[in-house]
């Protein structure tokens, strides 16, 4: 079996919803992936911020195998130990008192939307999100997403979602009406171009929520679970949300999502208000327990912050070396973007393709920046490897 044969088989049966690269991945370890032709890639995408402990992390793999040999599924009509252990860890290490578990980021945001409307009471159903945001692929999550390209072809979208200009508190406040129940935003817009919210802006949004009796929902699906150098990104902004949503890195590759909230807000839900057949699956939860225990280990998050600074410094150095291409790094921790000069923005996909040919996986986010999301266990030597590959690609493009 090789790439060509596997890709041909795949293309013959799947709906064409992905622009896939010409590689069929068959094995992963740490920050490396191997395709069916035996070619090894340095992974600076991590399944789009999912495999944060790297591929096939030994402790996570052991937890998956051990749990799969005992109990895989019983439904949420019954309690399970892995689910309870994970919820206890999430509550103990966040602002939250209560947890709801599901299978993905979009599901977590759907749960947050329903909870905000239920808690808001009759007639309060509108949710304000930000232009440039991305909240998922289900219909309500698409409606909440502040990028028109994701709406195209799916109109009419569900009502009750309003998009505020990014960075303008005054304009955001003008959109608040008696029907508004919540403001939904990402502390850092990943798909929107690795764009952190300024600290004073997010603090201002918190103040608006308090002033108008609104819930603040933080979508930490991409930036939660250590990605920014703290377990949750909100910790770096000096605010406390009412709801946060998680997924991606929580299970290090197994599908799992979660909504975290306070006792007061959680009280709006009662049995029958919301549910998930597979949410909090014992195997996924067993993996997530190990993920959290690892990330909470001594020095882990401090090391993520240090390596994030190292990567950002390297990207900024490349921008100085190639000013015709690079326009500086932006991000938090180990979600970093290299902004491109206006002349090279149209060539962003070409740069990603050239990196792929050089054996490095990355992507182009928001039509603006090269996005780098390595496993949080990435080494400085592997960061140097990425930077060297980028330098070679840039030099070739200017030659």
Q: CATH number, domain at 319?
A: 3.90.1150.10
| β partners of residue 361 | 43
Q: Do 285 and 87 contact (CB within 8 A), yes or no?
A: no
Q: What is the DSSP letter of 252?
A: B
With a pLDDT cut of 90, the percent of the chain lying above it is: 99
- pLDDT band at 238; cut points 50, 70, 90: very high
CA atoms within 13 A on the CB side of 14: 11
CATH number at residue 156: 3.40.640.10
Closest CA to 293 of 104, 86, 71, 62: 86
Can you tell me the mean pLDDT for 359-363? 98
Domain that holds residue 174: 59-295
Mean pLDDT of the chain: 97
pLDDT at 59 (0 to 100):
98
Say if residue 154 is in the same domain as residue 36: no
Say if residue 253 is in the same domain as residue 319: no
Say if residue 63 is in the same domain as residue 129: yes
Q: Do 23 and 41 contact (CB within 8 A), yes or no?
A: yes
Residue 220 has pLDDT above 90, yes or no: yes
Residue 1 has pLDDT above 90, yes or no: no
Crossing angle of helices 81-92/282-295, nearest 10°?
30
Say if residue 273 is in the same domain as residue 346: no
Q: What is the DSSP letter of 121?
A: -
Q: What is the DSSP letter of 267?
A: T
CA dihedral (221, 88, 241, 76) positive or negative: positive
For the chain, report the end-to-end CA distance as a whole number of angstroms: 38
Mark which of 261, 295, 329 sits at the end of a domain.
Answer: 295
Mark which of 278, 295, 312 sits at the end of a domain.
Answer: 295
Please write the tens of the pLDDT for every residue from 70-84.
999 999 999 999 999
Residue 166 has pLDDT above 90, yes or no: yes
Q: Do 119 and 181 contact (CB within 8 A), yes or no?
A: yes
**Cα-to-chain-centroid distance, residue 272:** 29
Say if residue 115 is in the same domain as residue 236: yes
Say if residue 284 is in the same domain as residue 379: no
Can you tell me the mean pLDDT for 251-277? 97
pLDDT at 18 (0 to 100):
93
Q: Enumerate residues 6+ apart whose C-beta is below 8 A from 166.
A: 130, 131, 132, 189, 195
Please write the tens of the pLDDT for every residue from 101-154.
999 999 999 999 999 999 999 999 999 999 999 999 999 999 999 999 999 999
Say if residue 278 is in the same domain as residue 332: no
CA atoms within 13 A on the CB side of 82: 28
Strands across the sheet with 25-29, in order?
25-29, 32-35, 40-43, 360-361
H/E stretch holding 189 reads strand 188-189
Say if residue 284 is in the same domain as residue 273: yes
DSSP string covering 29-86: EBTEEEETT--EEEESSHHHHT-TT-BT-HHHHHHHHHHHTT-S---TTS--HHHHHH
Closest CA to 332 of 287, 301, 358: 301
Residue 395 has pLDDT above 90, yes or no: yes
From residue 246, how far is each of 44, 119, 186 by CA, in Å?
21, 20, 11
Say if residue 349 is in the same domain as residue 205: no
Can you tell me the mean pLDDT for 180-200? 97
pLDDT at 399 (0 to 100):
83
Q: What is the DSSP letter of 120?
A: H
Q: Do 207 and 213 contact (CB within 8 A), yes or no?
A: no
Alpha carbons 93 and 322: distance in angstroms, whole number: 42
Structural domain tally of the chain? Answer: 2
Alpha carbons 355 and 371: distance in angstroms, whole number: 12
Alpha carbons 49 and 209: distance in angstroms, whole number: 29
DSSP string covering 336-376: EEEEEPTTTGGGHHHHHHHHHHTTEE-EEETTTEEEE---T
Q: What is the DSSP letter of 260?
A: E
Mark which of 295, 320, 336 sits at the end of a domain.
Answer: 295
Say if residue 77 is in the same domain as residue 219: yes
Say if residue 172 is in the same domain as residue 43: no
Say if residue 276 is in the same domain as residue 371: no
């Amino acid at each position: 079996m090789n790439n060509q044969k596997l890709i041909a088989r795949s293309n013959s049966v799947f709906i064409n919803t992905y622009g896939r690269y010409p590689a069929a991945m068959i094995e992963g370890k740490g920050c490396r992936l191997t395709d069916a032709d035996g070619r090894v890639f340095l992974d600076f995408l991590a399944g789009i911020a999912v495999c944060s402990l790297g591929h096939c992390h030994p402790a996570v793999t052991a937890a998956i195998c051990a749990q799969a040999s005992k109990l895989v599924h019983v439904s949420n009509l019954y309690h399970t130990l892995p689910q309870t252990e994970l919820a206890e860890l999430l509550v103990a290490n966040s602002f939250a008192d209560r947890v709801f578990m599901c299978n993905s980021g979009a599901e977590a945001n759907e749960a947050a939307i329903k909870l905000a409307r239920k808690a808001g009471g009759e007639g309060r159903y509108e949710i304000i999100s930000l232009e440039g945001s991305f909240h998922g692929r289900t219909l309500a999550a698409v409606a909440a997403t502040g990028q028109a390209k994701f709406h195209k072809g799916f109109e009419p979208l569900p009502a009750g979602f309003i998009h505020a200009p990014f960075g303008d508190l005054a304009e955001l406040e003008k959109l608040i009406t008696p029907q508004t129940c919540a403001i939904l935003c990402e502390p850092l817009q990943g798909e929107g171009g690795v764009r952190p919210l300024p600290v004073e802006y997010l603090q201002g949004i918190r103040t608006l929520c308090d002033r108008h009796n609104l819930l603040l929902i933080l979508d930490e699906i991409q930036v939660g679970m250590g990605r920014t150098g703290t377990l949750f990104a909100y910790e770096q902004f000096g605010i406390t949300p009412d709801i946060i949503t998680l997924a991606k890195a929580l299970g290090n590759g197994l599908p799992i999502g979660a909504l975290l909230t306070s006792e007061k807000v959680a009280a709006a839900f009662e049995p029958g208000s919301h549910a998930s057949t597979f949410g909090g699956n014992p195997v996924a939860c067993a993996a997530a327990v190990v993920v959290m225990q690892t990330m909470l280990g001594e020095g882990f998050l401090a090391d993520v912050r240090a390596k994030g600074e190292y990567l950002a410094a390297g990207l900024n150095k490349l921008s100085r070396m190639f000013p015709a291409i690079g326009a500086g790094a932006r991000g938090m921790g180990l979600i970093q973007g290299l902004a491109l000069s206006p002349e090279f923005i149209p060539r962003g996909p070409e740069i990603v393709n050239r990196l792929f040919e050089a054996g490095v996986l990355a992507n182009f986010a928001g039509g603006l920046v090269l996005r780098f999301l390595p496993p949080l266990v990435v080494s400085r030597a592997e960061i140097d490897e990425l930077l060297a590959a980028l330098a070679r690609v840039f030099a070739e493009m200017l030659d």
